[in-house]
Structure 1
Amino acid sequence: MTRADNKNKLVSQAEGASQAATPSQTIAAYLKKMEPTFAEVLPKHIDKERLLRIALTTIRTNPKLLECTIPSLMASVMQSATLGLEPGLLGHCYFLPFKNNRTGTSEVQFIIGYKGMIDLARRSGNIQSISAHEVYENDFFELIYGLDENLKHIPWHTRSDERFDQPGMIRGAYMVAKFKDGGHYIHYMPKQEIDLHRARSKSANNGPWVSDYIEMCKKTVVRSGWKWLPISIEMAEQVVRSDESVRKDITETATSEVPIIEYNADDLETQPQQEESEVVPEEQQTLV
């Protein structure tokens, strides 16, 4: 082989390396291939292109997700599509990367957010309104259970009987759901009970339990009262499964039809993961 041939070979190899797909391009290829499958399960109110665009943006903006296995990524997008919840900024649902110590791979867990659970409840058709609120030490809060339930909550900064410069410590959180048939449901959890739920979480000392404690309090009370809402059994079970496990509905068969595009680990950057899970599915798994 001549020197010119060697030079041409090196140039060709360099050009091929420069054209290698990035991790996000690889995932985009899989999403495109799975697009018809996602479209089959999407609720009517969700636009297919918008959901896939948001999902890809969510994955691209978190390098840790780019390291996760393709089947687990596709499974999370499928769950998002099935429930009609958009991942990311709206807080409807999240894609959480975690390390599976048993297999040594990084995978994705799909997590429903507090706003997503409220959105699903409203879509049931039986609920007129539903909301969740935190209660502070300096709020006026009175809740009476019984045949004639009564709830009165005046936030600290709107009280007329007393004035406060700060809210004080958080006391708890509650959910109120009004049904279209005229009924209602009130569920209150004191801080001590909420913290018991937090203590059972493997992300108790990081993620949203630290950065967004109030939002996690509201999610906990909605999640706890979920079983008492007039929602179909199928929807309730789907939410429970989605909120507590990593789904494997998208199998290797589904993704094997998409060409594998290789990329180097050097393409990945490292940054802290901001969204954490309340529940991690297996003892062998640790958060990335």
Structure 2
Amino acid sequence: MLQNNITKRQQNAPTFASYVKSDAVLANISKTLGSATRGKKFVASIISAVNTNKQLQECDFPTIVSAGIVGDSLNLSPSPQLGHYYMVPFRDTKNNRTVATFQLGYKGYLQLAIRSGQYKKINVVAVKDGELLSYNPFTEDIEVRAITDPLEREKAPTIGYYGMFELTNGFTKSMYWSKETMEEHAQKYSKGYAAHKGYTFWEKDFDGMAFKTILRQLISKWGIMSIEMQTAIETDMSFKDDVSSEPVYFDSEENQQVEQVQVYQEQTYQEPEGVSLV
């Protein structure tokens, strides 16, 4: 009898779709986004994203909406296949709940850089064993012997990551991190990865997260950042209880109150070897 009562309560619990389609919530979304048409389009896309992720369905509904609105305000798609940004469930241990956090993908960084019109070239790539001949961190001169056979290159182990950009005004900047340096970075800034829990994005696709880290380091320190790019960097890896509240950050030394939960998602965080805008 007790189990039947619990099952009935679960069945009667409001779904995310019913919550986000309610008059009050839909009106607030439409007002935030600037039009009813854009609001309805947003609701359809975010319901689709939530339906593919069981853990996301268990998050506080307002945090899902807030994470999605951040992405929509940047004109980025929540589709896992596109990889612009992700709504990642994290456990807020302080308040005993699960929240949806906004996490920018490296393809999102590229989209925002391209849109700014300030970047003539931008590239990030994994460097394979045997390719790197020398790298001078003072002059940023790099010498490589690229493995030209795609299959051979794919099989070769990764030893580091290289990123560069050239602005339309001619300014250039590049960066190379060894895989060991990237490992240290991941250990420092991802509690889940440091604990080897097996389900963080660092563990699902280390290269993809490394690409994002290189781009973030390059663009935030030396690139020209549009208002959109600034917003993306300021809200990356954070959650909001509502769209007007201040972001709360996770996976950092400053905040140890949230922990990533296992992501139930068939479309994993998979990225290609390298990308280039030329």
TM-score, reference length from structure 2: 0.73
Distance 1:158 1:278 in 2: 38
Quote the residue 1:36 is aligned against: 30
Q: Kindly indicate whether residue 102 of structure 2 is the aligned counterpart of residue 110 of structure 1.
A: yes
Distance 2:254 2:101 in 1: 8
Alpha-carbon deviation of 1:212? 0.8
Could you list the runs of 5+ residues in structure 2 that have no partner in the other structure?
Answer: 1-7, 262-278
Alpha-carbon deviation of 1:54? 2.5
Q: Kindly indicate whether residue 68 of structure 2 is the aligned counterpart of residue 80 of structure 1.
A: no
Distance 1:211 1:73 in 2: 22
Quote the residue 2:273 is aligned against: none
Aligned residue for 2:191, secondary structure, equals coil
Quote the residue 2:123 is aligned against: 131
Q: Quick check: 1:95–1:108 contact (8 Å CA) kept in 2?
A: yes
AA matched with 2:176: Y
Could you list the runs of 5+ residues in structure 1 that have no partner in the other structure?
Answer: 1-15, 42-46, 253-276
Quote the residue 2:256 is aligned against: 283
Alpha-carbon deviation of 1:25? 2.5
Quote the residue 2:205 is aligned against: 212
Q: Kindly indicate whether residue 180 of structure 2 is the aligned counterpart of residue 192 of structure 1.
A: yes
Alpha-carbon deviation of 1:80? 0.8
Distance 1:158 1:142 in 2: 21
AA matched with 2:33: A
1:82-101 correspondence runs (5 A): 82-87=73-78, 88-101=80-93
Aligned residue for 1:203, secondary structure, equals helix
Q: Kindly indicate whether residue 233 of structure 2 is the aligned counterpart of residue 240 of structure 1.
A: yes
Alpha-carbon deviation of 1:250? 2.5
Moved more, 237-246 or 28-37: 28-37
Quote the residue 2:5 is aligned against: none
Alpha-carbon deviation of 1:140? 4.4
Alpha-carbon deviation of 1:145? 5.4
Quote the residue 1:268 is aligned against: none
Alpha-carbon deviation of 1:108? 0.9
CA change 1:246–1:21 in 2 (3 A) is closer
Q: Which has the larger radius of gyration?
A: 1
Distance 1:50 1:190 in 2: 43
CA change 1:167–1:61 in 2 (3 A) is closer
Alpha-carbon deviation of 1:239? 2.4
Alpha-carbon deviation of 1:57? 1.0
Q: Quick check: 1:157–1:167 contact (8 Å CA) kept in 2?
A: no
TM-score, reference length from structure 1: 0.71
Alpha-carbon deviation of 1:199? 0.3
AA matched with 1:202: K
Give 1:63's match in structure 2, choosing from 54, 59, 72: 54
Alpha-carbon deviation of 1:73? 1.2
Moved more, 26-35 or 187-196: 26-35
Distance 2:55 2:18 in 1: 15
Quote the residue 1:173 is aligned against: 161
Q: Quick check: 1:51–1:86 contact (8 Å CA) kept in 2?
A: no
Distance 1:243 1:213 in 2: 18
Moved more, 22-31 or 197-206: 22-31
CA change 1:190–1:246 in 2 (3 A) is same
Q: Quick check: 1:178–1:184 contact (8 Å CA) kept in 2?
A: yes
Q: Tell me how many residue pairs correspond in the alignment.
A: 240
Query: Between the two proteins, what is the percent identity of the paired residues?
Result: 21
Distance 1:280 1:83 in 2: 27
Q: Deviations over 1:112-136 (max 9, x none)?
A: 0111011111222211231210101
Distance 1:132 1:37 in 2: 38
